[in-house]
């Protein structure tokens, strides 16, 4: 099938994320991927600046990842997790407990990040029900946040500026406060934390947990906030006996310069969600980790077990991919590597600050953001990036980069230079 035939069928029948069937849009068929390059059907090669939505941290077609999956598929590709177990799942749970902050000790495997958030919310509600506080069924969260596209996850996304306002009448009404204005590296102002404290105290009898993205609000705006603010949130949760859920799906596994973003504040949540980079982008897998106290409380309450169980929970192939990905990451000097990428992003994106169309340029770890003064016209900008030989997928006012960790200095320089040229062209 040539590119035109493929695109014609795609346009007629295939839904893409946040798209409409039959509406012309810029879609680029991929034939293969290797290292940091996507090879299109027409032969062009693009440096991937997105890590396939932040997941392919080791790039594509990695030989060690491939070997791990080939070895596993010869044993079993899948087996139900109800009443059965297998070595990849047990080993992965053990490895996640080693890597995540104490006292996270138990692991529930899920299919995707959105489902991991659903699991976290259900855990929090069931925990309080078991403790005799069934009214604690609501969540307090930050505006500009994003936690996924399923119904529970949508309810804790920003109800105004987020992507789910259409469903507001059918979503559970949660409690929101303004996102922190304090910048990463600075201290938290009293005003922002005071609003959170006021809302918490007013509704504490109904709040099961505070849920937030630690340090980086990703899809909600790629903003980086103060670690001091996160520390103060942890303190408020402890003082008011409310759980803290950290959604590390975008930030986990080194992306911000720490293994997990909550480590910037030297705190541990009661429940943590991980996904995306967990399998190095090979297969969909996520996990929700919690403490022995929460696990035991749920066990000792009614009905004596946690009420969730995905069909493909702890898929052996996905668990094997995750083990291989974590080994690649932890066997490397990943903090030094992320610092290298951070320096390259800062150097390469810095010239954008001089452009009139640019409101802000910010970098943290392996995340680089160019925020514009106006929304990006995707049908104009997306092909421009492809013409420059890079794959960058902006949204809203944001042109951002989260490249694979294996990107070379030369490739990173090419990537950031392409961003500069495209941003400058749309400001002309």
Residue 399 β-bridge partners: 370
Contacts of 333 (CB under 8 A, 6+ apart): none
Q: Where does residue 379 rank: exposed (0-12), middle (13-18), buried (19+ CB within 10 A)? A: exposed
Contacts of 235 (CB under 8 A, 6+ apart): none
398-401, strands of its sheet edge to edge: 358-364, 367-372, 398-401
150 Ramachandran zone, left/alpha/beta (phi>0; psi -120 to 50) = beta
Catalytic residue chosen out of the listed positions 18, 169, 205, 331: 18
| 225/188 Cα distance (integer angstroms) | 9
Catalytic residue chosen out of the listed positions 60, 127, 146, 282: 146
What is the rounded end-to-end Cα distance, in angstroms, of the chain? 39
Catalytic residue chosen out of the listed positions 276, 397, 400, 405: 276
45-48, strands of its sheet edge to edge: 30-34, 37-40, 45-48, 390-391
| 362/71 Cα distance (integer angstroms) | 42
Using an 8 Å Cβ cutoff, are 117 and 128 in contact? no
Question: Is 276 one of the catalytic residues?
Answer: yes
Question: Is 247 one of the catalytic residues?
Answer: yes
* Nearest residue to 144 (alpha-carbon basis) of 121, 186, 176, 122: 176
Q: Which long-range contacts (CB under 8 A, 24 or more apart) does 355-360 make?
A: 355/423, 355/424, 355/427, 356/427, 357/423, 357/426, 357/427, 358/423, 358/427, 359/397
| 355/373 Cα distance (integer angstroms) | 11
Q: Report CA dihedral (10, 13, 16, 18) to the nearest 10 degrees.
A: 140
Catalytic residue chosen out of the listed positions 48, 111, 228, 247: 247
Instruction: Report which DSSP code applies to 306.
Output: -
Q: Report CA dihedral (80, 82, 87, 92) to the nearest 10 degrees.
A: 100
* Nearest residue to 365 (alpha-carbon basis) of 408, 331, 393, 336: 336
| 400/363 Cα distance (integer angstroms) | 10
* Nearest residue to 271 (alpha-carbon basis) of 294, 252, 255: 294
The residues annotated with a catalytic role in the active site are 18, 146, 247, 276
């Amino acid at each position: 099938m040539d590119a035109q035939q493929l695109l014609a069928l795609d346009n007629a029948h295939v839904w893409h994320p946040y798209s409409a069937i039959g509406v012309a849009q810029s879609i680029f068929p991929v034939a293969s991927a290797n290292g940091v390059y996507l090879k299109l059907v027409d032969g062009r090669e693009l440096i991937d600046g997105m890590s396939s939505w932040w997941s392919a941290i080791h790039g594509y077609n990695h030989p060690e990842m491939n070997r791990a999956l080939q070895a596993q598929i010869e044993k079993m590709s899948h087996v139900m997790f109800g009443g059965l177990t297998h070595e990849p799942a047990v080993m992965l749970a053990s490895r996640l407990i080693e890597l995540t902050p104490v006292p996270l000790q138990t692991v529930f495997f899920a299919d995707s990040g959105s489902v991991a958030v659903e699991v976290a919310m259900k855990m929090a509600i069931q925990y309080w029900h078991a403790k005799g506080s069934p009214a604690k069924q609501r969540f307090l969260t930050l505006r500009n946040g994003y936690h996924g596209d399923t119904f529970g996850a949508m309810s804790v996304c920003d109800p105004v500026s987020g992507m789910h306002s259409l469903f507001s009448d059918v979503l559970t009404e949660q409690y929101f406060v303004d996102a922190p204005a304090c910048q990463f590296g600075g201290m938290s102002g009293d005003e922002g934390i005071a609003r959170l404290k006021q809302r918490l105290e007013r509704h504490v009898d109904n709040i099961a947990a505070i849920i937030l993205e630690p340090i980086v609000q990703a899809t909600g705006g790629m903003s980086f906030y103060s670690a001091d603010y996160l520390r103060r949130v942890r303190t408020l949760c402890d003082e008011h006996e409310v759980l803290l859920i950290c959604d590390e799906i975008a930030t986990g596994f080194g992306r911000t310069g720490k293994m997990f973003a909550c480590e910037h504040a030297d705190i541990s949540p009661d429940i943590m969600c991980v996904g995306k980079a967990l399998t190095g982008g090979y297969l969909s897998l996520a996990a929700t980790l919690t403490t022995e106290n929460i696990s035991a409380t749920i066990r000792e309450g009614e009905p004596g077990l946690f009420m969730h169980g995905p069909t493909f929970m702890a898929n052996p192939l996905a668990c094997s991919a995750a083990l291989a990905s974590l080994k690649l990451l932890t066997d490397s000097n990943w903090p030094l590597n992320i610092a290298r990428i951070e320096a390259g992003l800062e150097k390469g994106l810095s010239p954008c600050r001089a452009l009139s169309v640019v409101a802000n340029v910010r970098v943290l770890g392996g995340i680089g953001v160019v925020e514009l003064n106006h929304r990006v016209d995707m049908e104009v900008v997306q092909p421009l990036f492809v013409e420059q030989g890079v794959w960058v997928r902006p949204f809203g006012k944001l042109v951002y980069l989260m490249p694979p960790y294996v990107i070379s200095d030369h490739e990173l320089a090419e990537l950031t230079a392409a961003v500069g040229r495209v941003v400058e062209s749309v400001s002309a």
